[in-house]
Amino acid sequence: MLKYFAVTAIALTSVASAHAQSSLVQQGHAVADRACNACHLKGTIEAPSFAALAKRGTVTEAGLGDALGHGHEMSPITLPPEERRALAAYINSLK
């Protein structure tokens, strides 16, 4: 069920993502909406919300690559480094 929602969300929001390119944080927000927020916007029983991750203060581009590459629910989700960098900036802005 979650996976179905995630795939639908990815399909629906990729069109909108072209708008928010004016800063790294906005870019990261768009990537999150497209690929992550189906599970991480508010979090689920298993997935922590991105706001909770931001408070832990450990989100980095490399860390995201690691989390996505190994044992993630949707593994492997692959994002180019610039999208991971934008995502890290966005997640850390949620503190």
Task: Give the footprint of ligand HEC on this chain (CB under 6 A).
Answer: 2-3, 6, 35-36, 38-40, 46-48, 53, 64, 67-68, 71-74, 77, 79, 87
Token pair for 48: 């922590």
Q: Output the residue with the shortest Cβ distance to ligand HEC.
A: 36
Nearer to ligand HEC, 39 or 89 (CB): 39
Nearer to ligand HEC, 23 or 60 (CB): 60
From the number of C-beta atoms within 10 Å of its C-beta (0-12, 13-18, 19+), residue 65 rates as: middle
The distance of closest approach from Cβ of residue 10 to ligand HEC in the complex, given in angstroms and rounded to an integer, is 8
Helical ranges in the chain per DSSP H? 2-13, 24-35, 37-40, 50-56, 61-69, 81-92
